[in-house]
Each structure stands twice: as C-alpha cells, then as structure tokens.
Structure 1
Amino acid sequence: MTQTRAAGAVDGQGFSYRPFIWLAVATFSMGIDGYVLAGLLPQIAGDLSVTAAAAGQLMSVFAFTAALAGPVLGTLTSRWERRTTIALALAVFVLGNLVVGIATNYPIALGGRVIAALGGCLLNAAVTGYVIALTPPEHHGKALSFVLGGWMTATALGVPIGLVIGQSSWRFPMIMVAVVGTIALVGILLRLPQLHLPGGSLVDRLRPLKQPRLLAGLLVTTGILCSSYTCFTYATLILGPHFHAHWAIILIMFGYGVSSMAGNAITGRLVDRFSAIRVLTVVLIGLLLNSIVGMVALMFAPAVVAAVWGLVWFFSAGVGNGGGAVPQQARLATMAPDSATIVIALNGSAISLGSALGSALGGVALTAGASPDGLLGVAGIILAITVTLHALVTRATHRATTA
C-alpha cells in the first residue's frame, strides 16, 4: 500500500482519528514506562540491592540510549515500510520491558532498559513520520496531538495505576507496560494501513544542525527536560518525608499527570493567540521562579507549610513542563520550515538527552551529599542557563527574520 492509499486518515467528511487509535495506545504504554519508575525508586533500590541514585540511572540509561540511537536507527530504517518499522520497534520495546520485569540483578535490568530504549526511540521517530505523512498539513497538529496524547494520558491514568500495582512488586508495572504494548502491537498489525516513504541519509537528517540558532534552540529543549528530570526522577525522595503513605504519593503523581495535561492544553490554545516565543518565555520564567521558591519553602519553612508548598511546586512544575512542549515545537518548526519533520525528530533526541542528563545529574548530586530538596536548586541553575539561551535564540531569530 502506498502513501497515496494511506491518505485515508482524511475521509470524505473530514479528519478521522481511526488510523491513529492503536498508535495512541502504543504511546500510552511508552508514557507509563517513562514515568512510573520515578515513583518506585525505593522499591527498585531495595530489591536490586543498589542505592536510590543508582536505581534512578535506569531512567538515565534509557534516555541516553534513545538520544544517541534515535537519528541513526531512523536513518537505517527510513526506506522500510512504515507499519513494519513501527511494529518491529514496538516489539523490541515490549521485549525490553519484559527483561526489566524479570531481571534478577541490576546489570540485567540496565540491559533491559537499553533494549527498551532502542525500540522506543525508533518507535517515536517512526510514529511521528507516519502521522505527518498520513495527514494533510492542516491536520498535522490535530493528529499529532491525538497520538502523542497517549503520553499525557499515561501520566494522569497509567502511572497511578502502575504505582498501585507496584506496591506489591515494582516488576508488575513493567509487565503491565509489556501487556499494553502487545495489545497495541496486535492492533497496529491488524488495523494500521501500510505506508512507504522516501528514504533519507543521516547527513540529510543532521543538516539542520548547521544552523547555530537552531542547534541552540534544540538545547533549550534539552535544558527544560534536564531541569525537569533532575527533580522528577527523585520526586519520591523529595516529597516522601512530607507524605509518608504510599497512597499519598500515588495521588500526587496523578495530580502531576493532570497538571501536565492542563499545561499542554492551555499553551496549545495560547500559541494560537500569541506567538510561540512569548508563551515559551512565560513558561520558562515561571519554571525558574517555581524552582527557587519551592527550594526555599521545602528547606526552611515549617513542616506543614513545606508540605503544602511542596505540592504547589510539584503541580506547578507539571503545568510548566507539560506546557513547554507545544510552543517549543512550534518555535523550532518555524525556524526550519523546509525541514520540519527532521527538526521534530531531532527535538525528540533533545528530549531524551535532557531526560538522561537530568536523571544522571540528580543522582550525582545526591551521591555527592546534596539533600533531595537541594535538587530544586540544581534545577533552578539549569533553568537560569536555559532562559539565557532562550533569550539569545530569540534575539538571533528576530535578527534573521528582520534581515
């Protein structure tokens, strides 16, 4: 089946979500995988006989692998039929989670995370390219929002469910991810139209990086995710002393997911009314102020005030981190309109790199003796650098546009 035949995503009466339902289920499984481990670090550390900081590296190794392997695997498979590529990537992702779920020691768990990352990064790139190719330009945003909405839904629903079943064993959520991924795999094989696209070289994919301001723009993405995962990976260590009950942490993670969904929805509407740069500027400054005030409150305020402000900080971070994606992608796409698909794929690698650096940096800080509350300060420093970089990119973009 060719690309022309696959254009059935737009039926005679307008846009149709039907071809993308199983892709959304696949991203839902990836969303659970991406967030649920952060709420189970103490259990993982105890079972595998490692420190909480080492357990956090299970998230880092996934993100580092995805960041490095994404462009390479995307290029090597660019001439493959797209449904086959998506199915193969999802199968590898499922296999990796099964390995983690049955791992008897820490090295095996790390190996499983590497396998899952190889499948996950290829799945992300293939899904994005598939959705863009299957829909006309006027429906790109709607289609991508629907498919990638599986991530947001996972943070609000899948992660709390995973944390509930994870109280018996942290391995159960990994098995749940594999089960959901398998269901998506069956649906994709049975219902997803085939699609052939022109191939591309790694040089073509990396050519946009020759633009310094675009490269700097991608580093803004890395900075946002790095600051986020510096704290989110170890959220149970930061909030645990204030909320001892397991059910409280589960509810807090649910609240974070809902906050992320709200931030994504709000900024999506604001970008249509105002410029993406303005919206992103407000988001970045808000995240920076939130980190500073949150750190001061958690470290120096009375216990009750610290607990309440801890929730305010965490949920506000959810709104900002969820809300930063839309304006940032919109800004990057306008910086290289002729290479929008490639830029979005590179932005995916920037996201993975930021997630990996954040998890790793938080672990290093804890190992060096920093308190969990002090991670908010580390995130604040990263955000200050990111805001400065954002300002430089904005100025360069304005000059280029004026010229």
Structure 2
Amino acid sequence: MKLVYLLGLGAFALGLDAYVTAGLLPVIADDFHASVSATGQMVTTFTLAYAIASPIFATLLSASRVRLGLLASLAVFALANAGSALAGTLGVLLLTRALAGVGAGLYLALAASAAASLVDDKRRGRALAVIMGGMSSGTVIGVPIGVLIAEHVGWRSTLWLVSAIGLVSFAGLAVRLPALPAATSVTLRQRVQVVTDRRVASIVGVSFLAAVASLGLYTYIAPVMATGAMGSVDSITPYLWAWGIGGVIGSFLIGPLVDRVRRPYTLVVGILALLTVALLVLRPAASLHPLLALLPIAVWGAVGWALQVPQQNDLLVARGERGGPVAVALNESALYLGSAVGSGLGGLAFSVGWSGAVLPLCAAGVGFLALLLQVTAVRSSTKDAVLPASPAPVLQDATD
C-alpha cells in the first residue's frame, strides 16, 4: 500500500489545484488588471481540458505503457503549474491551466487503475479510497493552506506549492513504481467501444447526476446559506469545514465497506439515498437554527465524496483490462461536466430571481434522479452482464 499512498499524494495535489484557484480569482484579476469574469476562465479551461482530454488520452494510451503515461501526466501537471506561477499574461495563464487540466485528468484515471493493480482484490476498495481521499484532503486541508499562503506571499507561491507536491510524488513514483502489468492486447476499437457499453454508460450517468446535485450546489453554498430561509449565515467557514471534513471521512471509510460488501450496487443505492435525504433536510434544519445545518452538510460532503470509490470499483470490475482506465476517465469527466452543469443551472436560477433557499430542493431532486437511474438502468445492466471482463493482474507492492 505504500506505493498507493504515493499515488494518493499526487491526487492531493490535484484536489488542491482544482479548487484553490477559485479562491485566488480576485487577487489574480488584480495582478493582471483584468475582470474577475475574464480571470475566471482559468477555472473553465482547467475543467474543460480535464473533462475532455482525460477519456481521449486514456483511450489512445497503449495498455503496455500505463507507468509511462502515469509519470508523464503527473510531470505535465506539475510543470504546467510551474508555468502558471511564471505566467506574465492572462493568455499564458489560461494556456497553462488547460495543460494542467490535461495532466490532472489523465493522471487520476491512471492512478485509480494503477492503485487497483498494486493490491489484491480484497483491498481494492481501500486502495481506491486512498486516491479519492487524497483528492478530498487536497480540497479540505490544502485549499485553506493555499489561500493563506497566497494572502501572505502571493498567489504564485500557492501554485509553486502545487507544482512542488506534484514533483515530489513524481520523483517517488519514478524511483519506486515498478513496471505495471501490461493488459492483454486490446485494440483501439475495443477501447472506444467502452463508450457504448450500457453498463458503463449507466454508471457514468449516475456519477454525472450526483455531481450536478452535490458539486453544483456546493458552488453556491455561501449565497444559499446567506438567505433568510437558511438562517442568514454571515460566516460560511464552519459550513465549508463541515462539508470538507465530512468528505475526507467519507472518502476513507468507504474503502473497507467496498471490500466487504458483496453487492456494491446496494452500497451505491444507500449512498444516493443519503445524499438525497441530506439535501432535502438542509433547508428545514437551517430554518430551525443555522448550526443544525452542519449535520446534513457534513453528511452531504461525506456521501458525495464517498460515491466515487464504489463507482470506480464497479467500472474496473465491469471492464477489467479491456478499457478499465478509459471507463474511469469517462467517470472523472462526468464529475467535472456535472459540476459545470450544476453550477450553470444554479447561476441561471439566481439570474431569474429564484431564492437560494430553493437550490437544495432542486439538488435533492437531481439526486433522486440519480437514485432512480441506479435502481433501474444500473441494476438492469448489472443483471444482463454475463461475465465481467477479466480483472487486471495484480502487482504486489514489495514494500507492503
């Protein structure tokens, strides 16, 4: 598992980089004498590059070169962040953010596949949880630290920190990560067919809807909690910590559950049900007293982050060597696209005059749609699957 934790360190850098830039927008805009909306495109370029490039490169990457792809993607990510720290114009910054998104998207998909191949089947859930735990920890622990550094020594120092963490992970993996087992010969056509796999499509669809509900609402948690119906919260910090700490706990606790539960399908049903209920009770709890909202927000964060561990595990089981990394990459794209769609719909709701207090109910509705998809399409496709693709060969970590 030691090598898995090195992979998780790279995921920590990704989680930090993906979310800290939103908190740095005002100071970056001032530095480049640009509007916040124009500077905000650095988040858009990162997200779109992540979502689009991840499945494309995962599809084109040779099955025998997973280790090379893993190291190359992490190197691109780290160097692109260094380029962002050195950027002298907004145009250069946008370009380097796009490159960072490409590296991040491919790395996370390959890291999940590599983590699964480094342990036996009984510990695969825990290995995948380390990767998602790294992402969530980067958000919860890394983002506040990154913002604090930016306030004292400038935003460029925060991006240098991201680059340094990425390079530390790269150096450790370059020295200690052995050649990963090559999958059996799989043609590009067979890899592309992953996209048309009914089971993969339904699982990815659930991830997309869950991201619309969870990550989309999180974008507007401050204005939502500031409404009168939610208690007119002035300081959003305790609620952000509740969501984030819940996310870290959920990310790490879900791993052993995935390894123990014999039917992962039912585990996902439970997670989606908890997500829907947490979003439904958020407004009533906050109307009684704002501090009561901390509990549903913590549950929301926990199950929102936990969901992706059984989802990744199910995709790897479904596709095995024949497109496992491609399926995981599609799932990661669905998360980022779902986040973008959720944010866009939330912005539209505000623009037409809706109260922010309505958004948790809307998010709960989308969460319920994800639950319906899980109990219909995913359940049906799981039953129809005669035999899953052969699992990827396990490469034991000699230092375990």
- Using the size of structure 2 for normalisation, the TM-score is 0.79
**Percent identity (aligned):** 28
Partner of 2:193: 207
Partners of 1:60 and 1:357 within 8 A in 2: no
Partner of 2:245: 258
1:193 has 2:178 as partner: yes
Partner of 2:373: 389
Partner of 1:182: 167
2:300 corresponds, among 297, 311, 317, to 317
Aligned length: 378
Cα 1:320/1:43, change in 2 over 3 Å: farther
Partners of 2:74 and 2:103 within 8 A in 1: yes
* Structure 1 letter corresponding to 2:273: I
Partners of 1:216 and 1:393 within 8 A in 2: yes
Tell me how far 1:118 sits from its aligned partner: 0.9
Gaps of 5+ in 1: 1-16
Partners of 1:226 and 1:358 within 8 A in 2: yes
Gaps of 5+ in 2: 388-400
Tell me how far 1:185 sits from its aligned partner: 2.2
Structure-1 separation of matches of 2:207 and 2:84: 28
Cα 1:128/1:60, change in 2 over 3 Å: same
* Structure 2 letter corresponding to 1:387: L
Please identify, of 191-200 and 107-116, the stretch whose mean Cα deviation from structure 2 is larger.
191-200
* Structure 2 letter corresponding to 1:221: S
Tell me how far 1:222 sits from its aligned partner: 1.0
Structure-1 separation of matches of 2:143 and 2:364: 26
Tell me how far 1:327 sits from its aligned partner: 3.1
1:92-241 counterparts in 2 under 5 A? Answer: 92-103=76-87, 107-168=91-152, 169-195=154-180, 197-198=182-183, 200-239=186-225
Partner of 2:49: 65
Tell me how far 1:265 sits from its aligned partner: 3.7
Partners of 2:67 and 2:179 within 8 A in 1: yes
Structure-2 separation of matches of 1:338 and 1:89: 20
Partners of 2:130 and 2:252 within 8 A in 1: no
Tell me how far 1:123 sits from its aligned partner: 1.3
Partners of 1:57 and 1:360 within 8 A in 2: no
Tell me how far 1:320 sits from its aligned partner: 1.6
Post-superposition Cα deviations, 1:364-383, rounded to whole Å, max 9, x if no partner, equal 44455555444434423322
Please identify, of 190-199 and 92-101, the stretch whose mean Cα deviation from structure 2 is larger.
190-199
Tell me how far 1:357 sits from its aligned partner: 2.7
Partner of 1:3: none
Tell me how far 1:29 sits from its aligned partner: 0.7
Tell me how far 1:224 sits from its aligned partner: 1.0
2:204 counterpart SS class: helix
* Structure 2 letter corresponding to 1:174: L
Structure-1 separation of matches of 2:297 and 2:29: 23
